Structure 1
């Protein structure tokens, strides 16, 4: 009687399948990122604010939220100072985006008449964002936790 479920040799004899190699050692679990030096954390927290202010100027306020978002996502687990300042500046940039978009929408819905009021307010808020970003950057470089006023707390 011939067994069809087992492999056969060309001569008709039954062949034993080879043993599978062992899986090897299991890799270690993911280690949390190492905390950074305080001086590095202060420098990066300052750069969050300064680079966001530069991005606000260069992108006319449209892409300024990208810088604090990326830096906050990369470094938030390595330093409480960066986590705090990243959230603060991200809230500031998202608030400025809402202010600018709201001003433009008001201008569109009022057929341009609203721009007489919203454009000066948007310019004043943009100057505020740049100045407060510089102040917050200086405070971050000192290692201080500076809460930025006049922002909507999107991220707590």
Structure 2
């Protein structure tokens, strides 16, 4: 009798997510940045972790995970620039504006993902394509 296990790959193929689960994970990719923001670079690490774990299971989650990570990196850069501009006093205002924009766009993206819609963050540098 031939051994059928020798023909299989080392790791099994990921089980695709159903539509409801894909929308939920896509939403989590966006919302995970909010509690992650309480830790230095946590707002990047949390969406990155969700994206890396779920991207093979759904093209929808893959898209939203990339968007979330790209947006969080862009916002981290904006916060860093605003922090440096505190020397010129304008940085305090910019940090407030960046924080409000970050929160609003993150919530909008999470709602769109939960509704099954593709959302592209405005003013975002696409580091991950």
Whole-Å separation in 2 of the counterparts to 1:62 and 1:103: 16
The alignment status of 1:148 with 2:129, answered yes or no, reads no
| Correspondence for 1:62 | 41
Of 4, 23, 39, the residue aligned with 2:20 is 39
| Mapped contact 1:35–1:79 kept (Cα < 8 A) | yes
| Mapped contact 1:75–1:82 kept (Cα < 8 A) | yes
Whole-Å separation in 2 of the counterparts to 1:106 and 1:28: 56
| Correspondence for 1:80 | 59
| Mapped contact 1:96–1:125 kept (Cα < 8 A) | yes
| Mapped contact 1:49–1:133 kept (Cα < 8 A) | yes
Of 12, 18, 28, the residue aligned with 2:8 is 28
Whole-Å separation in 2 of the counterparts to 1:47 and 1:63: 14
| Mapped contact 1:53–1:129 kept (Cα < 8 A) | no
CA displacement at 1:27 relative to structure 2: 6.3
CA displacement at 1:54 relative to structure 2: 2.8
Q: What RMSD, in angstroms, separates the aligned Cα atoms of the two structures? A: 1.6
* Equivalent residues, number: 124
TM-score using structure 2 length: 0.87
Whole-Å separation in 2 of the counterparts to 1:150 and 1:54: 23
Structure 1 unmatched ranges of 5 or more? 1-24
Whole-Å separation in 2 of the counterparts to 1:142 and 1:128: 21
| Correspondence list, 1:127-146, <5 A | 127-146=100-119
Greater fraction of residues in helix: 2
| Mapped contact 2:29–2:46 kept (Cα < 8 A) | yes
TM-score using structure 1 length: 0.73
Structure 2 unmatched ranges of 5 or more? none
* CA deviation string 1:28-63 (max 9, x = no partner): 21332111111001011111111212322x23x632
Of structures 1 and 2, the larger Rg is shown by: 1
